[in-house]
Amino acid sequence: MNKRVLAQWVANDTSLRLWDNKVIGLFLKRNSKSFSWNVSYRNDSGNKHSIKIGLYPSVTLDAAREAARQHLIGLAQGKDPLSQRKEKKFASKDTIQAYFDSTYSNVLKGKKSGNETAAYFKRHCAELMKLTFLQINAKHIHKWHMDMIAKNLRDSTIQRAYGAFKTLINDAVKKQHITDSPLQSINLDKYHRPEQGVKKVNDRKYLSKEQIFSLINALDLYQDKRRLERSNSRSHGKSQLQSLSDLEYVDFVKPAILVMFYTGFRPSDIRTLKWEELNLNSPSPTIRKALEKNKHKNSEPQTFPLTPEATQTLQKWKKQSANTQNGLVFPSSNGTERTKRFISDPWKKHIRPLAGLPEDFDLYNLRHNFASWLIMSGTDLLTVAKLMGHADTKMVEKHYGHLAPEHKQYALTKAFNMMLHTND
């Protein structure tokens, strides 16, 4: 197997095991809520056993192969992997500080920011370091998080400290000191801390009509700026660069943001959008796409209607794009998927400032804007949910229901006008 085959199996296959073709006996097992690396072997008595190496993706394919090889080498030397597992279980009773002192401190010495990271542990993680690998759990992490907030530490500092601490734990897994990371699925909760610039989780913003006009204008200003920069470069000895003057779009930024604005798709769904998922020539153009997994209960492909503006944007972009049969709509220069920040970076650096939007209006708020204006125009919650790719109205009711009451009168008046006031 390779990394691409592995990712596709995890995402789409339903079989119980995926066997490696490079290390005999290594396989990835599908569990009810996780994926675990295992190695199958026969002991001296000829009995078949398998032993768990660790969880994917915490343990990578390369790390799993190396661990499996070590198990098989040990077996050839007469060492029983199950006995070694018992030794690891005993090792998990070590304190995290003991592992840091004996092993991880040497790792940090070889890193550029090693001294700074070590200071983070001493300054912020002293209580966590006293715990054993076997003891530490979500309760300890939550208490530590609350202590950090009580000290009025910036959220970025807390996130960095916790990230460094998780890296330490993962190193113990990588070096097979312990089997699995006890922090594998433990993330820090989000809290409303306006004094630290941390937005309330449910604070979902939408654009006013004036801001929408400013956004569209900012996209044009961005294009004008890029055209001028390219023209200057060509006139100063870089004539080999393509002229942008005759292109509808100077790059992916304007069409990608417009598609997100008109569809309410997440940036990740725009990033993975393919031409084969678009039906632009129909009288009723659509996108048929399975939206990002882990974000939707319904991972089956769904059909979404396109507005005339979205259709026109995609048609114009298609005219100047290559590989428009089965390729990505917004690929990187080598045809692969762009990075996760491919829209958010130009949004923060160029579009948001040009539009004069608040700094806390991030790119994702375009999705909230999509839902908010649908509800404020009188669209029923079920239709909004379907247009956003949700299986039911729970998420819409939770986050946008507050927008509906002030528009109920409009919906009621509109309905009865249709019933009672006919055109004679």
Domain assignment present for 106 = no
Most confidently modeled range among 89-98, 332-341, 345-354, 382-391: 345-354
Higher pLDDT, 81 or 187: 187
Domain boundary among 196, 221, 240: 196
For residue 141, being part of any structural domain is answered with yes
Same domain, 305 and 354: yes
State the virtual CA torsion across 352, 357, 358, 362 in degrees, nearest 10.
-50
Tokens of residue 4, six digits? 């691409």
Q: How far is CA 140 from CA 132, 170, 173, 186, 190, in A?
A: 11, 17, 20, 11, 16
Domain membership of residue 56 (yes or no) is yes
Residue-wise pLDDT tens digits, 102-157? 889 998 988 888 888 898 899 999 999 999 888 888 889 989 999 998 888 888 88
Instruction: Give domain status of residue 99, yes or no.
Output: no
pLDDT value for 54: 85
Q: Report if pTM > 0.85.
A: no
Q: For residues 214 and 358, is the Cβ–Cβ distance under 8 A?
A: no
Parent domain of 79? 3-91
- Residue 85: give its domain's CATH number: 3.30.160.390
Residue type, 354: L
159, part of any domain: yes
Same domain assignment for residues 147 and 72: no
Domain-embedded: residue 419: no
The answer to whether residues 172 and 235 belong to one domain is no
152, 172, 196 - which closes a domain: 196
SS3 content of the chain, % helix, strand, coil (to 5): 50, 10, 40
Q: Is the dihedral of CA 272, 276, 280, 284 positive or negative?
A: negative
Is residue 418 included in any domain, yes or no?
no
